[in-house]
Amino acid sequence: MASHDASKIKPTDLSEAQAKAELKRLAGEIAAHDKRYYQQDAPTVTDAAYDALRQRNAAIEAHFPALIRADSPSRRVGATPAGKFKKVRHAVPMLSLDNAFAEQDVVDFIARIRRFLKLDEKEKISFSAEPKIDGLSMSLRYEGGELVTAATRGDGAEGEDVTANIRTIKDVPHKLKGRNVPPVCEVRGEVYMTKSAFLALNERQKASGGQIFANPRNSAAGSLRQKDPTITASRPLGFFAYSWGEMSEMPADTQSGMIKWFESSGFKTNPLTKLCRSTEELIAFHRKIEEARAELDYDIDGVVYKVDRIDWQERLGFVSRTPRWAIAHKFPAERATTVVRGVLITVGRTGALTPTAQLDPVGVGGVIVQNVTLHNEDYIKGIGGDSEPLREGRDIRIGDTVIIQRAGDVIPQVVDVVIDKRPRDAKPYHFPTKCPCYLHTDIVREETATGEEGARARCTGEFACPFQKIEHLKLFCSRRAFDIEGLGEKQIELFFEKGWIKEPADIFTLPERNKKIKLEQEEGYGETSVRNLFEAIEQRRKISLDRFIYALGIRHVGETTALALARGYGSWKAFHDAGLKVGKGDEETIAEMDAIDQIGDTVIQAIAAYFGESHNRGIVERLTKEVKILDTEKPKKDTAIAGKTVVFTGALEKMTRDEAKAQAERMGAKAAGSVSKKTDYVVAGPGAGSKLADAKKLGVKVLTEDEWLKLVGG
């Protein structure tokens, strides 16, 4: 039978000879379409027809794996946009910036720096100020001056390898210029697309029936994450360098000096970057850039200020996931008017009910907004709650015309109701008293610490509520927890509904149980996609302690708290044992946990409640049989205080307490918040009170600030 006749036969009904001929035909046809679309911008088939060819090729290969060709579309780089990128671990984490929205926030930011570094008002602080490009963060690693790896920011610790695509951007040098190039250097910056290029691209996409992008940032991200570098090469992308990661040597000792070095090495830097020497200069720079914003050919959403002296940056360090020495001063929020068409209630992992307004679609702040959070019942009623209230009497009703705003990346919110446009038949919204799940369990308003009724409403269904179970599974698989590729929200909801995954441990037993489930027979799945999913699950059988603690979904234990607990206990066994004891009310263990910096009563009570519940203990026991939890990285062994627990009390005179804590942690010590029998040193300054008394009572060694500095080498 001729090969063109074979194109009408189902893949499962093909003979081996027919399959071989079909794969040859498809390889040639798809390659020709790729060339016309990606290189010539002149496609001759619709996306649907092109996808059908690829799907047929994949189906035949799945049925005849021995016949897969060397030139198969599935083997070419970027043959399928849904393919996976290799993960890259950042040598130095790529962190995000804290935000300032008002001029007073900038004043406060500088005041915090002065307090931390103990600088008087006469000491000048210079800042490097630059426009905040609304693009995609990128880290470029050079070894011996040659570009070896390019990675996206990802979750800050781990990104995606997009080296082949980055090489197509003309602003990124493949080899660094000059003689002053460190053996290892990571240059960081922003991949972006100009507004004019974005409009031209969308015109081409529209003409060819391709994807229309919402804004330049989305188009830059979409272009960069193509598996086929020829697609990226066809897109007009740019790159501004502004920061660095791992550096074997520092070519300069200031931020502004590093910008000049980037330029001399062959990078493009933002020409609007300026050195400012006062708060007034920073504010003036922000106003100037805001005025020029509309004239720039690239999107910006604010201005970034960075302490210019790198030695001060190092002393200031980081808090949580943001540097103390830099801040993003965002532009004022953009607003738009639309109509509320409905209110959707969702139930979160901890049972909290969140109302969302369903809106007529409206563009604001560069995106199309269709849904916006209403926070809680009191917010809808216009009487406040745990978020900024609307003006008195401005309750929100279905049919109301509302004003929404969006500032930078902040979630859009309703800021006012246009009462004059309210429909006559609009009635006040009544918050549900029963959970929307099939159990219809009661909804209660939680109490505050003072015993008063709080704004947050919760489902009392606890572990029986299917919504809470699903949300827990979503958190467990999320990027900052186990990060299991292929298990997104839709897949989790499907697998839960089917009864295949009811708790975290079920994820890791899924491959074995698939002999009975036969996932590859489910619509949207095939042998390849199932194999990829199971490989992704297998890759996550090892996990760091902080990610594991976060993935458990303990209330009030977010990423920062999980990291503090991981550093405090070091191993899963130590934390697990402490959790069980805290759950039983062991006072000594509670005191030890309370001594960990950043851990307080609220977190301890949440951990006690979690481990005090037999259902949770069962979940944890079954899960830990399926995964290996890695110990937290051991403290440095080459310092005098490595592995020691230190408490600072009183007013230190040569550095702030925050700076002393940061210094101790950099040298491998644990900075605790209270004194216990396990404390090694208490560093006491003038005005030391109860902590000093506790140290003397427990026989803990007490040091003056000078003795401490001598111990740590200055």
Is residue 409 scored above 50 in pLDDT? no
Write the burial class of residue 89 (CB in 10 Å: 0-12 exposed, 13-18 middle, 19+ buried): exposed
pLDDT at residue 376 in the model? 85
Quickly list DSSP for 165-189.
HHTT-TTS-SB--SS---SEEEEEE
Which residues pair with residue 358 across a beta bridge? Answer: 342, 371
Q: Could you tell me which residue, 286 or 389, shows the higher pLDDT?
A: 286
Domain ranges of the chain: 3-67, 98-330, 333-460, 465-540, 544-630, 645-711
pLDDT at residue 34 in the model? 65
pLDDT at residue 2 in the model? 40
CATH of domain 645-711: 3.40.50.10190
Is residue 56 scored above 70 in pLDDT? yes
pLDDT tens digits along 575-597: 999 999 999 999 999 998 988 87
**Which letter does DSSP use for residue 36 in this model?**
I
pLDDT at residue 680 in the model? 92
- Half-sphere exposure of 13 toward its Cβ, with a 13 Å CA cutoff? 6
- SS3 label, residue 397: coil
Per-residue confidence at 264, pLDDT binned at 50, 70, 90? very high
Per-residue confidence at 634, pLDDT binned at 50, 70, 90? low
* 63/75 Cα distance (integer angstroms): 16
Lowest mean pLDDT among 39-48, 277-286, 510-519, 544-553: 39-48
Which residues are marked as active site? 132
How far, CA to CA in Å, does 536 sit from each of 13, 163, 482, 487? 31, 22, 10, 9
Is residue 636 scored above 50 in pLDDT? yes
Dihedrals phi, psi of 140, to nearest 5 degrees: -110, 120
Quickly list DSSP for 307-361.
ESBHHHHHHH-EETTEETTEEEEEPPPEEEEEEEEEEEEEE-TTSBEEEEEEEEE
Determine how β-strand 401-406 pairs with β-strand 413-417.
antiparallel
Which residues pair with residue 159 across a beta bridge? Answer: 88
Where does residue 598 fall: left (phi above 0), alpha (psi -120 to 50 degrees), or beta otherwise?
A: left
* 386/379 Cα distance (integer angstroms): 8
Is 2.60.120.330 the CATH classification of the domain at 333-460? no
* 93/50 Cα distance (integer angstroms): 40
pLDDT tens digits along 414-463: 888 998 899 999 999 999 999 888 778 888 887 654 444 566 788 877 66
pLDDT at residue 405 in the model? 83
pLDDT at residue 209 in the model? 65
The arithmetic mean of pLDDT across residues 209-221, rounded, is 75
pLDDT at residue 440 in the model? 83
Is residue 121 scored above 70 in pLDDT? yes
pLDDT at residue 576 in the model? 97
Average pLDDT value over all residues in the chain? 85
State the fold for domain 3-67.
Helix Hairpins (1.10.287)
| Residue type at position 150 | A
Per-residue confidence at 80, pLDDT binned at 50, 70, 90? very low
User: Model-level pTM?
Assistant: 0.52
pLDDT at residue 215 in the model? 75
Q: Which of 225, 247, 246 is nearest to 237 (CA)?
A: 225
Per-residue confidence at 198, pLDDT binned at 50, 70, 90? confident
Q: 21: part of which helix (H) or strand (E)? A: helix 16-34
Domains 465-540 and 544-630 share a fold: yes
The arithmetic mean of pLDDT across residues 60-66, rounded, is 84
pLDDT tens digits along 651-708: 888 877 778 887 888 788 888 888 888 899 999 988 888 888 888 999 999 999 989 9
Q: Which of 150-159, 254-263, 341-350, 566-575 is predicted most confidently?
A: 254-263
* 547/565 Cα distance (integer angstroms): 11
List all residues 6 or more positions away from 677 whose beta carbon is below 8 Å from its beta carbon: 698
Is residue 63 scored above 90 in pLDDT? no
**Long-range CB contact pairs, 416-422, < 8 A, 24+:** 416/390, 416/391, 417/382, 417/390, 418/337, 419/393, 419/394, 422/397
pLDDT at residue 226 in the model? 79
Per-residue confidence at 389, pLDDT binned at 50, 70, 90? very low
Is residue 76 scored above 60 in pLDDT? no
pLDDT at residue 540 in the model? 93
Q: Which of 472, 473, 471, 485 is nearest to 537 (CA)?
A: 485
* 596/569 Cα distance (integer angstroms): 9
Is residue 614 scored above 50 in pLDDT? yes
* 224/164 Cα distance (integer angstroms): 10
pLDDT at residue 296 in the model? 87
The arithmetic mean of pLDDT across residues 511-521, rounded, is 92
Per-residue confidence at 48, pLDDT binned at 50, 70, 90? low
| Residue type at position 423 | P
How far, CA to CA in Å, does 250 sit from each of 182, 187, 247, 270, 537? 7, 12, 6, 21, 40
Write the burial class of residue 541 (CB in 10 Å: 0-12 exposed, 13-18 middle, 19+ buried): exposed
* 625/288 Cα distance (integer angstroms): 59
- SS3 label, residue 702: strand
How far, CA to CA in Å, does 94 sit from each of 189, 609, 668? 11, 34, 21
Per-residue confidence at 51, pLDDT binned at 50, 70, 90? low
pLDDT at residue 555 in the model? 85
pLDDT at residue 712 in the model? 86
Helix axes 559-569, 572-583, angle to 10 degrees: 100
pLDDT at residue 667 in the model? 83
The arithmetic mean of pLDDT across residues 467-489, rounded, is 90
Architecture label for domain 544-630: Orthogonal Bundle (1.10)
Q: Which of 207-211, 480-484, 665-669, 670-674 is predicted most confidently?
A: 480-484
| Residue type at position 130 | E
Provide the total of helices (H) and of strands (E) in the chain, helices listed first.
25, 26
pLDDT at residue 392 in the model? 53
* 121/115 Cα distance (integer angstroms): 10
**Cα angle at 298 between 165 and 110, to 5 degrees?**
105
State the fold for domain 465-540.
DNA polymerase; domain 1 (1.10.150)
Q: Could you tell me which residue, 609 or 78, shows the higher pLDDT?
A: 609
CATH of domain 98-330: 3.30.470.30
pLDDT at residue 77 in the model? 32
pLDDT at residue 43 in the model? 54
SS3 content of the chain, % helix, strand, coil (to 5): 40, 20, 40
* 626/507 Cα distance (integer angstroms): 9
pLDDT at residue 83 in the model? 40
Q: Determine what percent of the chain is predicted with pLDDT higher than 90.
A: 44
Across 344-356, b (16+ Cβ under 10 Å) vs e yields ebebbbbbbbebb
